[in-house]
Structure 1
Amino acid sequence: MNKVTKVTFDSDGVTLAGNLFLPEGVERAPGVVVAGTWTSVKELMADRYAQRLAERGYAALSFDFTGFGESGGDPRDVENPARKVIDIHHAVAFLATHPAIDADRLGALGICAAAMYMADNAAHDPLVASLALVAPWLHDAAICEAAYGGAEAVAEKIKIGLEARSRYDETGEIDYVPVVSAADPRAAMPYDIDFYLNPERGGIPAWPNRFAVMAWPDWLTYDSIALAPRISRPTLLVHSEDAAIPEGAHRFHAGLAGAKDILWTQGTQFDFYDQEPQVTVAVDAVAAHFGRTLR
């Protein structure tokens, strides 16, 4: 069995909580920071990937972002891309100082939305030597318009988000809607998605299924495709044409400045979170990528 240790570390004055999975019998192992979907807590999918990487010889850290899960920070459960990139930077720095980890061999793994944040950090963090993205959600303005019903629908979400942010600034009250709900048209994902609603999968008590409406402007104006030319680290993408916005993966991969690879496999977006064979296919590809590039 691999050893898992509860850890905490600082991120610009906020204490973040994580799980550090250490491989057995490996001294000064290569380290990998792992993070998952938007609004997620580490227990949804980051823990799973971190544990599987530890089984393959990597020290892997999953953690809760500022304002999420067991980590400190307010406001709670607000999807803030810029803040998440800062948290990733500090998570990497934490691994670099850990005595069981080789600071010269550090990688980053982003699943779904964390692909954007890991890519953003890798574009300017010299500690990150290799990058891997699984079922990556990679968007810019054009992709957001396609994903969210057109320019007018995006503009409306930005408008209600700015109004919610103003209310928060004035009153301290946060307007939450469900992340996932087929019954609530205001939900961030107004669909019946089994992964998030099934208590045997992602519908766990640690994840409150709430989305702060004031997060829409930062989310919808975030351009991850533009990051690609700034990333010279070797990068692997694992994706499926049946998963979320494959166009973003194609365009991001095409724009990467360094060594790059992309594995197209089978499965829906949510299969990559907890289903087989998708998780094993992804973990094996990621571990092999880090094996080649973290030397």
Structure 2
Amino acid sequence: MGIIEERVVFKSHNVDVVGVLRKPDNKDGEKLPAIVSVHPVSGSKEQTAGLYAEKLAQEGFVTLAYDSSHQGESLADPEYVENPFYRVEDVRSAVDYLTTLDIVDNDRIGAIGICAGGGYATSATMSDRRIKALGTVVGVNFGRFSRESDVTPDAAIRDLEKIAELRTNEANGAKPFVTQYIPNSPEELKESGIEELDVKEAVDYYRTDRGISENSPNKWRYSGSAGLYTFDAFFPAEDLLTQPLQIVAGDVPGAFGSYRDAFDLFNRARSSEKDLHIVKGATHYDLYDQPEPVDEALSKLVPFYNKHL
């Protein structure tokens, strides 16, 4: 199926958000189902969110992948923040945009999110009834991860104290403190001595030719992170997540916790139609771009969206 790609801009809390809209070559002119594709923390529309968006467009869906507000091509002050409330509002704003398009059937809009994008898409789906079906691929509850990634006692409180100090400094004229999510290169990873699987594979994906993108610069304004520590991407799924749900994860666990979060979301979701599919032998990052795991994920996602959108 032929696909038409178009660079688009839409507003999210007064920020210009830049996305890639993919439309099947729709010669008959009928309205089509549409899917918002939400990228991971530190990611961009050119990476795994764009890959899934392209694959789904080839199956007949209008898709929209975008750089989250304050990041990538959607950079705005405050730059490089990872604010969960911005990220969730971006999903709702992407749905707003899709409803303005003549090609889209407004009653058949879904969402897909990868890694932390899966958590943000989940939160948005609970609060936006226009989203009729939700898919997650190695979805991560990034609030849970922020609170628990450092297991030393009171680590989250120390983080928040540091963030408070940074905010005070910046409010009084200091240059914003911009750090990085992961080592900036395989060489820097080797020097760090980090051996954890997800971190090693993150470097291989984000900081080599495999997945590197100029819109994913590995920059993080740490003072903008306070909201992560009180955020639960899956709250209150027990009450509000009633839409059909397809969860995909790999069975090789890593520090980011997507295997664990897949079961947590499945168990918590109120959805009467929900499915959890585990890709055997797949790591977190295998499901970003490796052909066989991605094809297996799509073998569940495409029929799911065809049924529910």
TM-score by length of 2: 0.87
Residues 57-206 of structure 1 correspond to what in structure 2 (within 5 A)? 57-138=60-141, 141=144, 144-171=146-173, 173-181=175-183, 182=189, 183=191, 191-192=199-200, 193-198=203-208, 200-206=209-215
SS of 1:103's partner is strand
What is the rounded CA distance, in whole Å, between the counterparts of 1:14 and 1:172 in structure 2? 24
Asked whether the equivalents of residues 111 and 133 of structure 1 are also in contact (C-alpha less than 8 Å), the reply is yes
Asked whether the equivalents of residues 17 and 66 of structure 2 are also in contact (C-alpha less than 8 Å), the reply is yes
Change (3 A) 1:148 1:174: same
What is the rounded CA distance, in whole Å, between the counterparts of 1:282 and 1:158 in structure 2? 37
SS of 1:161's partner is helix
What is the rounded CA distance, in whole Å, between the counterparts of 1:22 and 1:59 in structure 2? 5
Counterpart AA for 1:282: A
The equivalent residue for 1:248 is 261
2:13 equivalent to 1:3: no
Asked whether the equivalents of residues 17 and 63 of structure 1 are also in contact (C-alpha less than 8 Å), the reply is yes
Aligned-pair CA distance for 1:207: 1.6
SS of 1:104's partner is strand
Change (3 A) 1:224 1:190: closer
Deviations 1:30-75 (A, max 9, x none): 0000011112111121111111000011000001111111115211
Given candidates 298, 302, 306, the residue that maps to 1:287 is: 302
Asked whether the equivalents of residues 81 and 225 of structure 2 are also in contact (C-alpha less than 8 Å), the reply is no
Residues 256-271 of structure 1 correspond to what in structure 2 (within 5 A)? 256-258=269-271, 259-266=273-280, 267-271=282-286
Counterpart AA for 1:174: P
What is the rounded CA distance, in whole Å, between the counterparts of 2:153 and 2:274 in structure 1? 32
Aligned-pair CA distance for 1:270: 1.0
SS of 2:74's partner is coil
The equivalent residue for 1:278 is 293
Asked whether the equivalents of residues 41 and 69 of structure 1 are also in contact (C-alpha less than 8 Å), the reply is yes
Aligned-pair CA distance for 1:144: 4.7
Structure 1 window deviating more from structure 2 (277-286 vs 87-96): it is 277-286
Aligned-pair CA distance for 1:9: 1.0
What is the rounded CA distance, in whole Å, between the counterparts of 2:131 and 2:198 in structure 1? 36
**Alignment RMSD (CA, Å):** 2.1
Aligned-pair CA distance for 1:88: 0.9
Asked whether the equivalents of residues 5 and 22 of structure 2 are also in contact (C-alpha less than 8 Å), the reply is yes
Structure 1 window deviating more from structure 2 (117-126 vs 153-162): it is 153-162
What is the rounded CA distance, in whole Å, between the counterparts of 1:139 and 1:149 in structure 2? 15
Aligned-pair CA distance for 1:241: 2.4
The equivalent residue for 1:222 is 231
Change (3 A) 1:119 1:204: same
Counterpart AA for 1:235: L
Structure 2: gaps of 5 or more residues = 184-188
Structure 1 stretches of 4+ with a deviation exceeding 6 A read none
2:222 equivalent to 1:209: no
The equivalent residue for 2:22 is 21
TM-score by length of 1: 0.91
Counterpart AA for 2:173: T
What is the rounded CA distance, in whole Å, between the counterparts of 2:174 and 2:305 in structure 1? 44
What is the rounded CA distance, in whole Å, between the counterparts of 1:270 and 1:165 in structure 2? 33
What is the rounded CA distance, in whole Å, between the counterparts of 1:190 and 1:108 in structure 2? 25
SS of 2:154's partner is helix
Asked whether the equivalents of residues 35 and 111 of structure 1 are also in contact (C-alpha less than 8 Å), the reply is yes
Structure 1 window deviating more from structure 2 (230-239 vs 161-170): it is 161-170
- Percent identity of paired positions between Structure 1 and Structure 2: 25
The equivalent residue for 2:186 is none
What is the rounded CA distance, in whole Å, between the counterparts of 2:192 and 2:217 in structure 1? 16
What is the rounded CA distance, in whole Å, between the counterparts of 1:95 and 1:159 in structure 2? 40
Structure 1 window deviating more from structure 2 (14-23 vs 236-245): it is 236-245
Deviations 1:105-149 (A, max 9, x none): 0000010001111111111112111111001112555x5554322
